[in-house]
Amino acid sequence: MTNCASCGREFESSSDTEHLCPQCAAEVQSPAPPDVVGQAQRGRLRQSLESPTIVLIALNTLVYLLMAFESHSFLAFDITLLQNWGANSGASTCGGQWWRLLTSTFEHGGLMHLALNMWCLYNLGWLAELLFGRTRFTLLYLLCGIGGSLTSICWRGDGLSVGASGAIFGIAGALIPAMLLASNKKLRQVLKGRLISIFIFVAYSLVAGNATTGTDNSAHVGGLLTGLFLGVVFPTGLSAFERKGRARVIAGTVLLLLTFTGAGVFAVHHNEAYVEIDRASQAHDRGDLSAAVAYARRAVQLKPDMVHAQFMLGTLLLDQQQYADAIEPFTAVTHLRSNWGAPYVNLCVAQRELKMLKEALANCEQGASLSPNETESWFNLGRVRYDLNDLTGARDALAKAVALNPQGFDENLQYALMLITTGETDKAVPYLQKAHELHPDDIETEKLLRQAQHSQLPNK
């Protein structure tokens, strides 16, 4: 038996050079009348519309258009929208939202991301349909997409992952053994050129993905490995042993699902800290600060070297005015990431409240040097300098805070008070006026403004 190089059907070959079945050979050799041509064209159109490749491209495109409609943006989407539409992440997925393993494969972060993936899917999908059949191809695509998503959260954990590339790499991976192991020698010869192209595509894409920031190469590898396995297990062509072919599909799918289960267990363990951080953030959003602190503490216990967990814990403790407890996590962050100004500033705030002014000054100065464009750095440095009676230094630091945030109430008010303290009341008036405009109901600010304006009046 020989497989037709055009439609894939098996037929009795009478010679070594015959590679088309009688039906396809007849279509090539004898022109059909116009009405038959029209029927054939309509048949091809129907086949195209029924093709899983076209359906999958349509679904991916539809999801993208719906997301574009919601976000009023067509070229790219923000993280919040991707998260809301089912992006894959260690925290959300392992926190119980396992459906993200599949939904994320139908999302794309931007127009170019979608266009590139759909172009690859179109070129690889038709060949995979021919070799595996529509049902097996569809199952292959979905399983490879899930395999890529699982590998992503097992490998990376943090961050979001979206896109069909894991499934597409899976298709490419499945085609490699399917072509190499095809029983029909003529078919292997015909597909030899495409096999080389697929090898080049896979190798180039993996190297490029590894060199490009923002590319989830772990999903590519996971999809590829899943596809390689299924390409060996799934039968190709119209097998004469249909029951045996179905048994292979069922056995391979069950074995793969068991592997996915094991990977899921590993992912849950690997992402415990991320899950706790996500729960802490949700608790904070609903106003349950005590629960948020408990979740953040759990995250720090699980992963002490996680900068985000330590910083969140310190910030939550600072919000609850637990200044002594906040010092440890902020200190840990300064050791883990010494070039980040924010933890130094927050450590300064906690130490100032505890009257540890020398330590607070050192940390505020370090925070301001690392984050010179952050208002909080200069504002808190000004307050600590004032506590240490360095009035000139306090005035200069607060002046920078106001310059960075001219619309800040606290910045304008504190700078005005500092100018009054240093005997520059006339310069304080515009800043008091600004503070009053921002908070017209603040009685103390209005009182200070009147006093400063009165002091400007000439004596009679």
Which one of the listed residues 89, 165, 205, 218 is annotated catalytic?
165
Given the DSSP bridges, would you call strands 10-11 and 2-3 parallel, antiparallel or unpaired? antiparallel
**Active site annotation includes 220:** yes
Q: Cβ-count burial of 164 within 10 angstroms (0-12 exposed, 13-18 middle, 19+ buried)?
A: buried
Q: What per-residue confidence (pLDDT) applies to 214?
A: 77
Q: Rounded CA gap, 455 and 435, in Å?
A: 18
Do the domains 271-377 and 386-460 sit in the same CATH topology, yes or no?
A: yes
Q: What per-residue confidence (pLDDT) applies to 103?
A: 97
CA-CA-CA-CA torsion sign (176, 178, 183, 187): negative
Q: What's the CATH class of domain 386-460?
A: mainly alpha
Residue among 396, 394, 326 at smallest CA distance from 356 = 326
Contacts for 196 with CB less than 8 Å, ≥ 6 apart: none
Q: Any idea where the domains of the chain sit in the sequence?
A: 1-50, 51-269, 271-377, 386-460
Q: Cβ-count burial of 4 within 10 angstroms (0-12 exposed, 13-18 middle, 19+ buried)?
A: buried
Residue among 211, 218, 94, 128 at smallest CA distance from 165 = 218
Question: How far, in Å, are 38, 221, 396 from residue 44 at the CA level?
Answer: 10, 35, 77
CA-CA-CA-CA torsion sign (328, 332, 335, 341): negative
Contact 100, 149 (CB under 8 A): yes
Q: What per-residue confidence (pLDDT) applies to 40?
A: 43
Residues paired with 110 in a beta bridge: 76
Q: What's the CATH superfamily of 51-269?
A: Rhomboid-like (1.20.1540.10)
Which one of the listed residues 19, 220, 284, 436 is annotated catalytic?
220
Tokens 């961050």 belong to residue: 159
Contact 360, 376 (CB under 8 A): no
**Active site annotation includes 108:** no
Contacts for 315 with CB less than 8 Å, ≥ 6 apart: 326, 346
Q: pLDDT digit of tens for each residue in the chain (460 aa)? A: 566 655 556 656 655 555 556 555 555 444 445 553 454 455 555 666 679 999 999 999 999 999 999 999 999 999 999 999 999 999 999 999 999 999 999 999 999 999 999 999 998 998 899 888 899 999 999 999 999 999 999 998 778 999 999 999 999 999 988 888 766 666 666 667 777 888 888 888 888 877 777 788 999 999 999 999 999 999 876 544 455 678 888 999 999 999 999 999 999 999 999 999 999 999 999 999 999 999 999 999 999 999 999 999 999 999 999 999 999 999 999 999 999 999 999 999 999 999 999 999 999 999 999 999 999 999 999 999 999 999 999 999 999 999 999 999 999 999 999 999 999 988 999 999 999 999 999 999 999 989 888 876 554 4
Backbone phi, psi, residue 32, to 5°: -90, 150
CATH classification number, 271-377, choose in 3.30.70.20, 1.25.40.10, 3.65.10.10, 3.40.47.10: 1.25.40.10
